[in-house]
Amino acid sequence: MPEEGLQWNSRNDLLSFEEIIRLLSILHGLGIRKVRFTGGEPFVRKDFMHLLRTVFKMKLFDEVTLTSNGVLLQPHLAELKELGIAGVNLSLDSLDEARFFQITRRPEFETVLSALHALMAAEIPTKINAVVMAGKNEADIAAFCAFTKDHNVAVRFIEEMPFNGGSSSASSFLETDNKPASSAAWHWKAILAEIQRHHPQLERLNDGPTSTSMNYRIANHAGSVGIIAAYSRTFCGTCNRLRITPKGALQTCLYAGEGLSLRDLLRTQSDSTVAQALKQAVSHRAKDGFEAAHTQPRTSMAEIGG
């Protein structure tokens, strides 16, 4: 979350429970088979578990996953497991309490760590998303690598993006000729070099067909490590993701601003008109994150969801 905080949306601005369910049915009709609910913390929404139960009951999706910052997650783990959650991504930038506090400005380290251990104990496939921020958590690259020795989790180190509320100001990410500026210090190659400095024996794993991460296993470690080149944008060619903000805006790329208002369409139009508008928006999506970045200004990651 940006240091200056976020402007909270009024309830009527947000998609209602019924609108989300309707939208999910429309998306299923268009061929979408996987859905991820993201935060911050999706559980801040009071009806979130009710929403999840309903989604599982609909039996429309092959895979339902979620991304959480771990603050409100743990009390729901048993039910999530029972419902059949396919995996949880935990946003956790540091394994050190002081650094965690410096980054999040919340005294929730113990809560999040406890949620992480509970996820592993429940054998829910777990990925840790850690944004590498210059001057804040470089030491956590080694710490997270060590963590995978005895814990079967996938840690993904993420290049910082100019809009994720981390260490760098947007101006330090200015681009020339569509190339990431060198001031984005923790470029994926630097992250890889740092991992290799501690663990020269890295086995390259097979990334799935639409994977966003380059994945590795450190010799004799139970878990794996990966790198997401979110700023260098090396994986746009296989990106097939759509994002819908809490206010119902469609984002066809992380770097694009808010696009089509699905909320406004849902409130005034038929399902088939919404479906048609979705198809059209997707067919006009930018070819990659560089092109998207030049289309519209965009908002904080905390407002979109991770």
| Binding interface with ligand SF4 (CB under 6 A) | 233, 235-236, 239, 241, 253-255, 288-289, 292
Taking CA atoms, 188 is separated from 7, 101, 192, 276, in Å, by 32, 25, 6, 38
Residue closer to ligand SF4 (CB basis): 199 or 233? 233
Residue closer to ligand SF4 (CB basis): 161 or 266? 161
Residue closer to ligand SF4 (CB basis): 26 or 236? 236
Q: How far is the CB of 289 from ligand SF4 (least distance, A)?
A: 2
Q: How far is the CB of 294 from ligand SF4 (least distance, A)?
A: 12
Q: How far is the CB of 298 from ligand SF4 (least distance, A)?
A: 11
Residue closer to ligand SF4 (CB basis): 80 or 227? 227
Q: How far is the CB of 264 from ligand SF4 (least distance, A)?
A: 23
CB-closest chain residue to ligand SF4: 289
Helix (H), strand (E) at residue 225: strand 224-228
Q: How far is the CB of 176 from ligand SF4 (least distance, A)?
A: 18
* The two structure tokens encoding residue 208: 């799935």
In the beta sheet, which residues pair with residue 132?
159
Phi then psi for residue 285, to 5 deg, are -65, 155
Helix (H), strand (E) at residue 65: strand 63-68
Q: How far is residue 85's CA from residue 70's CA, in Å, rounded to a whole number? A: 15
Taking CA atoms, 257 is separated from 211, 226, 296, in Å, by 23, 27, 5
Residue closer to ligand SF4 (CB basis): 69 or 252? 252
